[in-house]
Amino acid sequence: MSDVVHPNPLIALVGNPNSGKTALFNALTGARAKVANYPGVTVEKKIGQVTTPAGRRAAIVDLPGTYSLRARSPDEEVTRDFVLGRLKGEAPPDVIVCVADATNLRMMLRLLLELKQVGRPVVLALNMFDIAERQGIRIDLEGLTQELGVPIVTTVAVRKRGLANVLAEVDRLIGAHAGEPSWHEPSADEIRAAHRDAGRIHKLYVKPPLRPDSWTGRLDGVLLHPVAGTLILLAILFLMFQAVFSWATPLMNLIDAGFSGLGQAIMATLPPGLLRSFLVDGLISGVGSVVVFLPQILILFFFIILLEDFGYMARAAFLMDKVMGAAGLHGRSFIPLLSSFACAIPGIMAARVIDNKRDRFATILAAPLTTCSARIPVYTLIISAFIPNRVVWGFANLQGLVMFGLYSAGIIGALTVAFVIRRIFWRGASEPFLIELPAYKVPDPMNLLNGLLLRAKIFLRRAGTIILSAMVVVWFLSSFPAAPAGASGPAINYSIAGMLGHFIAPLLAPIGFSWQMTLALIPGMAAREVAVGVLGTVYAIGGGHGGTLANVLAGQWSVASALSFLAWYVFAPQCMSTLGVVKRETNSWRWPIIMFCYMLALAYAASFAVYHIAAALGAG
C-alpha cells in the first residue's frame, strides 16, 4: 500500500455505539453523505467526501458501531470485514479513525487494542471532549499516546471542533507502516487479558471525573421506574402517534394538492389518450399516492432520531423487553415494530439492529401486521361509510373505537405471529438481551436534521424507483386492453386487472367481496391506499350516483362485507414494496414468499370469520 501516492485515500470511522461517530461523520462531510448498500449484504453504507489539509480528496465511510471486531450482527460483520479489507468489492481503508466517547473510554480502549492488530494506521479521536472537561475527567493525552502508540486528537463533533486536526493526522498517516495484520477472533481469556490491559491503561492515564454526570442517574430514576417509567413510555408513544396523524395532515394535503394540480395541468395541456392516461393515472397519481406519506415518515423519524440521540431508545428496549420477550422477541425488536406504524419498510430496515438472525427474521415477518399509515385512508373511508358517528358508553366515539380496534388487531396479530414463529417453528433459542444504557445527551439539532434529510432522500429514491415501476405495471394492467367502443361501465372492467378481478371474485365471494372490491385489491398491491382511488373510479363511472364515495359504498355494500374488507386490510399482504424490501433485507425470495402466503391465509381466515359472524348477527 505504501508505494502508492494515495490521491484519494479511504478513511474508515470505527467506534462503539453512542460514541458520537455519526455526529463526527456528519461534521466532517456536511450533508453530502451518500447512502448505498454494500454488495451482497443489506447494510447501509454511508460514504462522504472530505478534503484534507494536504489537499487530498478523501472518501470517508461511517461504519456501523461495534464493541469489538468479533462481529455478532450483519452490521458488525460489515465493520469487521471492511477494516480487515475482506469485503468483496471494497478497498481496505488507508486510515482508521477510531471514535471514542471521551467520558466513557474504558470500553473503547479494548476496541482500540483490537484495531491496532488490523495492520492499518489508526488515529484515536476523543469525541465529546467538552463534556469530559466539564465533568472534570483528566486525561493524560501525552501518556496515552505513548502507551497506545497511536496519535490522539480531541474533538467536539457537534461544535465542529478538532475536525482539521483529525484530517491532519490522517494526512500524516497515509501510507505509514502499521505493522503486520495479526487480528484473529479473541478467545474468552484473550478478552479478559485485553480488559485487564485496557483497565490498567485507563487507570494510569485517565483520572475519574471530579463532577460526574449525575443527570443520567437522576433521569433513570424516573424513566426506568417500574410505574412512572412505563407511563412515560406510553405517553411518549401517544404523543408520537398524535404527531404522526395530526401534525402531518396539513403537509400531506399540500403534497396531495401539488400532485393533483400537476395532474390537472397535464390534463389541460395534453389531448386525451394513452400518454395522458399514463402520465396522470400512472405516474403522477401513483407516485403522488406514495410521496404523500413523506411528512408522516419524517415526523416518525424525527421522534426516533431524537429519542435515539437523547439515549432513550435503550431505555425503551429495557422497559419493553419483557413484553417483547413474551412474544419470543428481543427488547430491540420494539423499535422496528414501532417504526412499522408509519410504514413497514423503514421498520423492516430498522430490524438490522437485531443481532440474532432468527429474532431479526421473526421481527421482519411480523412488522407488516402493525397498522401502517397507508391503511389509514382505507380504514377512514370504510369507517365513515358504515360505522355510525355516535357516542357509546358515555364517552367513546364509536368510529374512533373501531379505529382503535383495528390498530389493536394489528398489534396483537404482529405479536402473535412473532410468538408462533419463535415458540413453535424456532423453538428454544433466544438471544441474550445485553445492551449498554448510554449516558443521556442533549440531541444535536444538526445531527437530527442530517438524519432526516438522509431518510427523506432514501424514501424519495425508493418512491422514484421501485414504487414508480410498480405503479407503471399496475397502470398497464388496469389500462390494457382498452374498453371497446360504446362499452358501458368503467374501462378498468375490460382491462387485464378487471379480468383478474372477475376471475378471482368467486374465490373471494365466500368472504363477502363483490367483484368491484376484488378488483380494487389488484391495483392496491402497489400501495394499500390505491384501493381507495380504484373504488372511486369503479363506482363513479360504474354507478353514476352522485355524492361522496362513502355514501355510494354505504348504498352498495352490506355492513358484513365492509367489516370483512376491514379485516382483510388488517392482515393482507397488500404491498409489493414491503415484499421487495423483505427480499432485499433477507437476500432470498423465500421470506417474502412465506410472508405473502401467511398474510394471505390470515387475511382470508379473518375476513371469512368476520363476514359470517356479522351476517349471522343480521348485518348481511
Residue 473 near another protein by CB under 8 A = no
- Binder to another protein among 59, 201, 307, 314 (CB under 8 A)? 314
Q: Which of 420, 437, 540, 541 binds another protein (CB under 8 A)?
A: 437
| C-alpha cell of residue 291 | 410521496
Q: Which is nearer to another protein, 214 or 269 (CB)?
A: 214
Q: Determine which residue in the list 1, 67, 483, 504 makes contact with another protein, applying CB under 8 A.
A: 67
- DSSP string for residues in 156-218: BGGGTBSHHHHHHHHHHHTT---------PPPHHHHHHHHHHHHHHHHHHEEPPSS---HHHH
CA dihedral sign of residues 328, 330, 335, 339 = negative
Question: How many residues contact another protein, by CB under 8 A?
Answer: 53
What is the pattern of x (binds another protein, CB under 8 A) and - over residues 174-213?
A: ------------xxx--xx--xx--xx--x----x---x-
Quote the Cα angle for 76-327-426, to 5°: 65
Classify strands 122-127 and 95-101 as parallel, antiparallel or unpaired.
parallel
Q: Decide if 58 contacts 8 (C-beta within 8 A).
A: yes
Residue 534: what residue type?
V
**Residue from the set 184, 322, 461, 502 that interacts with another protein by CB under 8 A:** 322
Residue 447 binding another protein, by CB under 8 A? no
Residue from 5, 227, 268, 485 that binds another protein (CB under 8 A)?
227
**What phi and psi values does residue 51 have, to the nearest 5 degrees?**
-110, 125
Instruction: Single out the residue of 46, 110, 352, 455 in contact with another protein (rule: CB under 8 A).
Output: 110
Between 375-386 and 549-556, two packed helices, what is the crossing angle to 10 degrees? 60
Minimum gap (Å) between residue 207 Cβ and another protein: 11
Cβ atoms 611, 557 nearer than 8 A: no
Q: Which of 301, 318, 361, 539 binds another protein (CB under 8 A)?
A: 318
**Residue 328 binds another protein, judged by CB under 8 A:** no
Q: What is the rounded distance in angstroms from the CA atom of residue 139 to the CA atom of residue 205?
A: 6
Distance CA 332, CA 330 (A): 5
CA dist 15 to 124, 183, 211, Å? 10, 17, 25
Question: Of residues 217, 405, 506, 547, which one binds another protein by CB under 8 A?
Answer: 217
Span near another protein by CB under 8 A; candidates 317-325, 395-403, 483-491, 599-607 = 317-325
Residue 23 or 319 having the CB closest to another protein: 319
Q: Which of 433, 476, 596, 598 binds another protein (CB under 8 A)?
A: 433
Contact between 230 and another protein by CB under 8 A: the answer reads yes
Q: How far is the CB of 16 from another protein (least distance, A)?
A: 10
What's the closest the beta carbon of residue 68 comes to another protein, in angstroms?
Answer: 5
Among 5, 268, 434, 485, binds another protein (CB under 8 A): 434
Query: Residue from 117, 260, 356, 558 that binds another protein (CB under 8 A)?
Result: 356
598 vs 586: CA distance, rounded Å: 17
Please say which residue, 198 or 244, places its beta carbon nearer to another protein. 198
Instruction: Select 34 or 192, whichever has its Cβ closest to another protein.
Output: 192
* Alpha helices, H only, 30-162: 74-83, 105-115, 129-134, 141-148
Question: Looking at beta carbons only, is 68 or 577 nearer to another protein?
Answer: 68
Provide the Cα torsion 90, 93, 96, 99; round to 10°. -30
**Which secondary-structure segment (H or E) carries 521?**
helix 515-521
Judged by CB under 8 A, the residue of 265, 391, 429, 609 near another protein is 429
Residues 6+ apart with CB under 8 A from 387: 398, 399, 402
Listed in sequence order, the DSSP H helices in 351-425 are 357-366, 375-386, 398-420
Among 6, 70, 161, 462, binds another protein (CB under 8 A): 70
Comparison of 13 and 319: residue with beta carbon closer to another protein: 319
Residue position matching grid coordinates 438524519:
451
What residues make contact with another protein under the rule CB under 8 A? 67-68, 70, 72, 104, 106-107, 110, 186-188, 191-192, 195-196, 199-200, 203, 208, 212, 216-217, 220, 224-227, 229-230, 314, 317-319, 321-323, 325, 331, 356, 358-359, 428-439
